[in-house]
């Protein structure tokens, strides 16, 4: 005889806890994604490296121990990261209107409405204030350079020049260039050739880097009426200025002779390769493709240069 099987009715509510679990998980992932867009995570991470490098080199050139200054390191890195994150969030809050017409910014929560604008504003203010409070445990010079970076990016760049003048790229470059000064000033005064050259290197580097972005996203910037150089004056002048700024990088490694011949050699080779790429842009008709290559090269360039600075000064033995 076969075994009698009694069918058990399925209760559709049985799957509800599992469904709720996935909904909560999905909502949490979306929240993390929104926060990453708000703080512009890739930009933020790219700015932390120069802060660390400035701090590291300051220890090296003053013969100071990292272990003896670890608490200072914590306050500098954490405080400056929060200040920069706050500035980036406020930038998102202020630019929510033009972000709606740019394809690369459509996923930002200020555009999608996932996070209310008022909440975004107060998040930016809170992160900034908390960051400055932590930086008060470092030095007044570090606080000063952090404020210069914050004020330049939020007020002078975001609120004043970005939509009005092509000078916006120069102003924005200042805010990024002070990052190594923030780290260095936590240990020693910045009246030293190394932090000065680091400032100049970052300032000059950001010009062709930003020009490449502006050419790649030309249509979006034009639609949003953002006064980027290629939008206002065209590609030819933007390409020529790219060549000029990259050429200005050539002498800088030689002012950092104390970092050794390996650093000078690697950086100089990278400078000449980038300059050759810039000259190629003067003759190519494939502007977007060329700008993409310049952009990718610039990102790798600045990362490698600052990492090499740390590597060549790493204690041996």
Helix axes 70-94, 16-38, angle to 10 degrees: 90
Consecutive H or E run containing 67 = none
CATH number for the domain whose boundaries are 39-312: 1.10.600
Is residue 224 within 8 Å of 105, Cβ to Cβ?
A: no
Q: Of how many residues is the chain composed?
A: 317
Q: What is the pLDDT of residues 30-86, one digit of tens each?
A: 999 999 999 999 999 999 999 999 999 999 999 999 999 999 999 999 999 999 999
Is residue 218 within 8 Å of 230, Cβ to Cβ?
A: yes
Is residue 220 within 8 Å of 102, Cβ to Cβ?
A: yes
Supply the DSSP symbol for 284: -
Supply the DSSP symbol for 317: -
Smallest CA-to-CA distance from 82 within 150, 176, 4 is with: 150
The model carries a pTM of: 0.91
Q: What is the pLDDT of residues 152-170, one digit of tens each?
A: 999 999 999 999 999 999 9
Model confidence band, residue 16 (pLDDT cutoffs 50, 70, 90): low
């Amino acid at each position: 005889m076969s075994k009698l099987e009694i069918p058990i009715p399925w209760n559709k509510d049985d799957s509800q806890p599992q469904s709720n679990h996935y909904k909560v998980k999905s909502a949490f992932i979306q929240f993390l994604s929104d926060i990453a867009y708000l703080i512009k995570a890739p930009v933020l991470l790219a700015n932390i490296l120069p802060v660390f490098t400035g701090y590291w080199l300051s220890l090296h050139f003053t013969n100071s121990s990292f272990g003896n200054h670890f608490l200072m390191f914590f306050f500098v890195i954490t405080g400056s990261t929060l200040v920069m994150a706050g500035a980036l969030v406020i930038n998102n809050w202020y630019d929510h209107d033009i972000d709606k017409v740019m394809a690369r910014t459509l996923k930002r929560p200020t555009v999608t409405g996932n996070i209310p604008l008022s909440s975004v504003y107060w998040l930016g203010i809170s992160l900034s204030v908390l960051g400055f409070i932590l930086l008060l445990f470092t030095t007044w010079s570090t606080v000063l350079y952090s404020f210069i970076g914050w004020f330049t990016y939020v007020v002078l760049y975001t609120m004043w020049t970005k939509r009005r003048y092509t000078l916006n790229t120069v102003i924005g470059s200042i805010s990024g260039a002070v990052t190594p000064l923030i780290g260095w000033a936590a240990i020693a005064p910045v009246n030293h050739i190394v932090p000065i050259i680091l400032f100049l290197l970052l300032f000059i580097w950001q010009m062709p880097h930003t020009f490449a972005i502006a050419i790649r996203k030309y249509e979006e910037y034009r639609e949003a009426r953002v006064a980027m150089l290629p939008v206002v004056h065209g590609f030819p002048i933007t390409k020529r200025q790219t060549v000029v700024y990259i050429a200005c990088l050539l002498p800088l490694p030689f002012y950092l002779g104390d970092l050794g011949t390996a650093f000078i050699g690697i950086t100089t080779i990278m400078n000449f390769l980038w300059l050759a790429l810039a000259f190629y842009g003067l003759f190519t008709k494939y502007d977007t493709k060329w700008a993409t290559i310049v952009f990718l090269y610039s990102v790798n360039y600045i990362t490698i240069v600052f990492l090499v600075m740390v590597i060549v000064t790493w204690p041996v033995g």
